[in-house]
Amino acid sequence: MTGTEPAPGLLVLAGTPIGRDEDAPPRLAEELATADVIATEDTRRLKRLLRVLDITPKGRLVSYFEANETARTPDLVRDLLAGARVVVVTDAGMPSVSDPGYRLVAAAVEAGIRVTAVPGPSAVLTALAVSGLPVDRFCFEGFLPRKGGGRTSRLAELSAEPRTMVFFEAPHRLAASLADMAAAFGAERPAAVCRELTKTYEEIKRGALGELARWADEGEIRGEITVVVGGATPGAGRELSATELAELVFAKEEAGGLRRKEAIAEVAAEVGLPKREVFDAVVAAKESTLE
152 in a domain, yes or no?
A: yes
Q: How far apart are CA 122 and CA 147, in angstroms?
A: 26
Distance CA 246, CA 250 (A): 6
Residues 224 and 248 in one domain: no
Which helix (H) or strand (E) is 154 found in, with range? helix 148-157
Whether 184 and 220 map to the same domain: the answer is yes
Asked if residue 12 lies in contact with residue 86, where contact means CB atoms within 8 angstroms, the answer is yes
Q: How far apart are the first and last CA of the chain?
A: 75
The string of DSSP codes covering 237-251 is PPPPPHHHHHHHHHH
Q: How many domains does the chain have?
A: 3
CATH code: domain of residue 80: 3.40.1010.10
Domain end marker among 70, 104, 121? 121
Beta carbons of 144 and 179 less than 8 angstroms apart: no
Q: What is the pTM of this model?
A: 0.75
Eight-class DSSP state of 93: B
Pair (250, 158) in one structural domain: no
For residues 209 and 222, give the distance between their C-alpha atoms in angstroms, rounded to a whole number. 19
Q: Residue 141: how many CB atoms within 10 A of its CB?
A: 17
Measuring CA to CA, which residue among 168, 171, 170, 181 is closest to residue 211? 181
| C-alpha to C-alpha distance for 149 and 153, rounded to whole angstroms | 6
In the DSSP assignment, the letter for residue 8 is P
Cβ-contact 255, 228 below 8 angstroms? no
Q: Which domain holds residue 179?
A: 124-229
Do 15 and 117 have their domain in common?
Answer: yes
Q: pLDDT tens digits for the chain (291 residues)? A: 445 565 689 999 999 999 888 899 999 999 999 999 999 999 999 999 999 999 999 999 999 999 999 999 999 999 999 999 999 999 999 998 888 999 999 999 999 999 999 988 889 999 999 999 999 999 999 999 988 888 999 999 898 898 999 999 999 999 999 999 999 898 889 999 999 999 999 999 999 999 999 999 998 899 999 999 999 875 444 567 888 888 888 888 877 678 898 888 878 776 767 888 889 999 988 877 665
Query: Per the domain annotation, does 85 fall within a domain?
Result: yes
Question: Could you give the CA distance from residue 286 to residue 291 in angstroms, rounded to a whole number?
Answer: 9
Say whether both 196 and 110 belong to one domain. Answer: no
* pLDDT value of position 1: 47
Look at residue 253 and give its three-state secondary structure.
helix
Residue 239 CA to residue 184 CA, distance in Å, equals 10
State the Cα–Cα distance between residues 87 and 115, nearest whole angstrom: 10
Do residue 117 and residue 19 come from a single domain? yes
Distance CA 16, CA 121 (A): 7
Of 91, 121, 151, the domain-final residue: 121
